[in-house]
Structures are given as C-alpha cells and as structure tokens.
Amino acid sequence: MKLANLKDATDNVTFAQAVKRGLGKNQGLYFPTEIPALQNIENVLAMPFVERSTFILSTLLGDEMADEVRNIVQQAFTFDAPVVQISDKISVLELFHGPTLAFKDFGGRFMAQCLARLTNHEPVTILTATSGDTGAAVAHAFHGLDNINVVILFPKGKISPLQEKLFTTLGDNIHTIAIEGDFDACQTLVKQAFDDPDIREGLHLNSANSINISRLLAQVCYYFEALSQIPVQQREELVVAVPSGNFGNLTAGMIAKAMGLPVKRFIAATNSNDTVPRYLKEGKWDPKPTVATMSNAMDVSQPNNWPRIEALIEQGYLDKSVLRGESVDEDYTQIAIRQLAQQGYTSEPHAAVAYRALSHDLDENETGLFLATAHPAKFRETVENVLGQPISLPQALSEVASKDSLAETLPNEYQILKQHMIALLKPS
C-alpha cells in the first residue's frame, strides 16, 4: 500500500511506516494514493464478517502484511456489529459490543495488532492522554501484548468513575497516571515527552493516536458489515448518518463508498460544534470556540480528519453531493433520546444526535441507518436524567465497577513524570 502526506506529496510511505509514524511532515495526514474498487459487491457482502474484513483489508494493503491480515482481523474483531430495526424506515448499526463498549474498540484493536507486528518485537512505549473513551480503547487493545508498554495520562477527578475504572483496573503492561490538572495539562505533558529525546528515543515512544491510518482502514469493514444486514431492495436508497467529532468514522464510511459500498449518501451529524455542517451549507470554514455538550466525545470544532474527506472529493472518488451536514442542539438531542425510548430503544447522546439528523433529513423514498457509537450505560447519568428512569449496566461495566483503580497520582510537572516513566520502563 502506498500513502502520501496530504500536506507534502513528496512524503510517501508504506502502510507500515504510516502506522508507526502516525502523522507525517508538517503535521500532515497520510492518505492512500489509490483506493481500490471492489468487484462483485454482492459476493463480498455475502461473506462472513471476519472473512469479508480480511478480504477488504488485504485489498487495501496490497502486498503488505499479506500473511498476517487474517490473524490480525481474527484477534481484533472479536465482537459483532449488529443492525437493529427501529421503525419501518430507520435502523441502527450498533458499534458498542467491544470490551470498552464504544466503536473505538474496532480501530484501537486493529491498530494495536498491526503495531505489535510492525515493531519486530522491539520494546515500544505508547504514551497518550485521554479525557475518557480513547484511553479505555487503547488500554484494552494493547493489554497483554508483548514488548509494548502503555502509559495513559488522565485528568484526576475529571472523568466519570466508571469510565476511569475501564482502563485503570487492567494492570500488567497498562500504566495509568492521574495528573493533578486538566485534560490540556495532560496533553501538554505528552507533547513535552515527545520533544524530549531521553524519553522519545530512550523509551521508543509511539502515540497511537486517533489520526493513525490503521484505525480508519479497520472502520471501513463495519460499513460493509452493516450493508450485509440491510435488505437488498433498500440499499441503493440508503442514507447513513454518522455522529461525528474528529470525523474519522465518517472518513471510513466514505472510503467504503469509494470502494463500492452500495449506499446513496451520508449525513455528517454533529452537536452544536457545527463547523462542518456550516461549511457544507455556506462554503466557509469558520471554526468557533468549542462548546461543551451532552455528546462530549464530539465536542470538537476543528476536526482533524476533515482533510481526508476533502481529498476523497478533490481526487474524484466521490461527488460532493454524497455528503450533507446537520447539527443537532442539546434540546433536540434530549428529544431524540426520548423518541427512541418510545420506540423501545435505549440510546445515548451521540447516537441520538445521528438519529435526529437522519429523521430530519430523510427524503420520502429513502431509508436510513444511523451509527450508535457507544453503549447507553457509558453515559448512564445523562440518559437516566433525560428518561427519568434507571438503565441497567452491561456485564463489562458492572465487573470493573467493583475493582480497585491501579492508577498512580502525580503532580502536573514534567520532570516528575519523566523520572517516573524512566523508573517504570527503562530497560536495565
């Protein structure tokens, strides 16, 4: 597979290099120089999930990791992505059946399995800051992998206790540190570590962050899995609504369409952080300060995957008309959670944003699919407040709730973090 840096076309890399580097020169994103079109889509859709995903990823990767793709997929995709019917015209793709109950498990687990093989058994340290979801997905994805240590920084007391337990109770190669500061302070510490050769080279740092191309390729697979569950006569008029923050999920869907996914169009569904919907309607890129919402994983006003979506359109893979934007405010998010509950479906704010955007935008002859990116229990307090009734915890959450957090607390001071990491990880 060949990829090019969207900010510098001379920066060409293989998949292996792109996965290890994350970002390219000048902070540019890597993007495939060619997106292959799949033939005989009906046959592809008829395959079982693991086999189909192996086929799709092998097609994308070309001759790279050819012997290993099946194994990687088998170890990464160990849970289902079921489509559930909500009404005559609308169904939902549930992406929250993985170990951390969010769709980030797909990309995180695939990336971890790739990285474990691409580092040739040399020790690597993954360092990341989290305000919730990403940390849990990364921690579970790398837990127990040889020669990979993970250090996760999070703002002490600023994550819901249940969210925190999801990644601080694992132990082994997963080291969690509560920083006495906010999320920005954690991100600053991570940047300082990457700028410090003692740590960057001494501990072989890697960021494994959300712009890593491996995540997007993994996510392409569940769009095909969704379509395999949609009745044939509905496919060509199908509209897919994607709850979006950094727009990785939507980018993956649009790559799937460029490869031949038989859907009509997409809706970029955002909360009040509506840079993209405004851009699609008015043609002006004009980010406003980020505002806090119920669907907090989408509180992003400068989505970092957007250049990849522009590339898909500019390079002629897709027409502009396949994408519309809708922003959904807090009131309508609550209304949508209640409307879904009336139809017997318990949902959470991110999926509700997509449901509202979809039901608002769907034309007469179209059918709709929205993506549910997290289990409602991950946003238990909000959902219980909106619905006025308790919701039950799935096993994964009730199990960790009773375990002790293994996180250490450190002050917001780089030198102390550095000494701590060296003592913890430096090979003697």
| Residues in contact with ligand PLP by the rule CB under 6 A | 102, 104, 133, 243-249, 297-298, 350, 373-374
Contact 139/113 with Cβ under 8 angstroms? no
Minimal distance, residue 350 CB to ligand PLP, in Å: 4
Query: Which secondary structure element, helix H or strand E, spans residue 84, and what is its range?
Result: strand 83-85
Minimal distance, residue 220 CB to ligand PLP, in Å: 13
By beta-carbon proximity to ligand PLP, the closer residue of 193 and 311 is 311
Minimal distance, residue 397 CB to ligand PLP, in Å: 14
By beta-carbon proximity to ligand PLP, the closer residue of 203 and 216 is 216
Q: For residue 374, give the DSSP letter.
A: B
Minimal distance, residue 102 CB to ligand PLP, in Å: 5
By beta-carbon proximity to ligand PLP, the closer residue of 213 and 298 is 298
By beta-carbon proximity to ligand PLP, the closer residue of 124 and 159 is 159
Minimal distance, residue 154 CB to ligand PLP, in Å: 15
Sign of CA dihedral 407, 413, 414, 418: negative
By beta-carbon proximity to ligand PLP, the closer residue of 99 and 245 is 245
Contact 1/30 with Cβ under 8 angstroms? no
CA 190/CA 62 separation, integer angstroms? 34
By beta-carbon proximity to ligand PLP, the closer residue of 123 and 161 is 161
By beta-carbon proximity to ligand PLP, the closer residue of 104 and 308 is 104
C-alpha torsion 102→107→109→112, nearest 10: -140
CA 156/CA 410 separation, integer angstroms? 9
Sign of CA dihedral 261, 215, 102, 143: positive
CA 425/CA 184 separation, integer angstroms? 24
By beta-carbon proximity to ligand PLP, the closer residue of 98 and 245 is 245
Alpha-helix runs per DSSP H in 241-289:
248-259, 275-282
Closest Cα to residue 283, out of 231, 325, 248? 325
Minimal distance, residue 297 CB to ligand PLP, in Å: 3
Where are the extended beta strands (E) located within 212-355? 238-243, 265-270, 323-327
Closest Cα to residue 185, out of 211, 213, 156, 206? 156
Minimal distance, residue 239 CB to ligand PLP, in Å: 18
Minimal distance, residue 96 CB to ligand PLP, in Å: 8
By beta-carbon proximity to ligand PLP, the closer residue of 135 and 248 is 248
DSSP symbols for 184-200: HHHHHHHHHHHT-HHHH
Query: In angstroms, how far is the first alpha carbon of the chain from the final one?
Result: 38
By beta-carbon proximity to ligand PLP, the closer residue of 175 and 378 is 378
CA 44/CA 21 separation, integer angstroms? 32
By beta-carbon proximity to ligand PLP, the closer residue of 166 and 203 is 166
Beta strands 83-85 and 90-94: pairing type? antiparallel
Minimal distance, residue 225 CB to ligand PLP, in Å: 17
Minimal distance, residue 289 CB to ligand PLP, in Å: 19
CA 115/CA 20 separation, integer angstroms? 7
CA 3/CA 219 separation, integer angstroms? 18
Q: What is the CA radius of gyration of the chain?
A: 21
CA 172/CA 311 separation, integer angstroms? 41
Minimal distance, residue 134 CB to ligand PLP, in Å: 7
Which residues pair with residue 326 across a beta bridge? 269
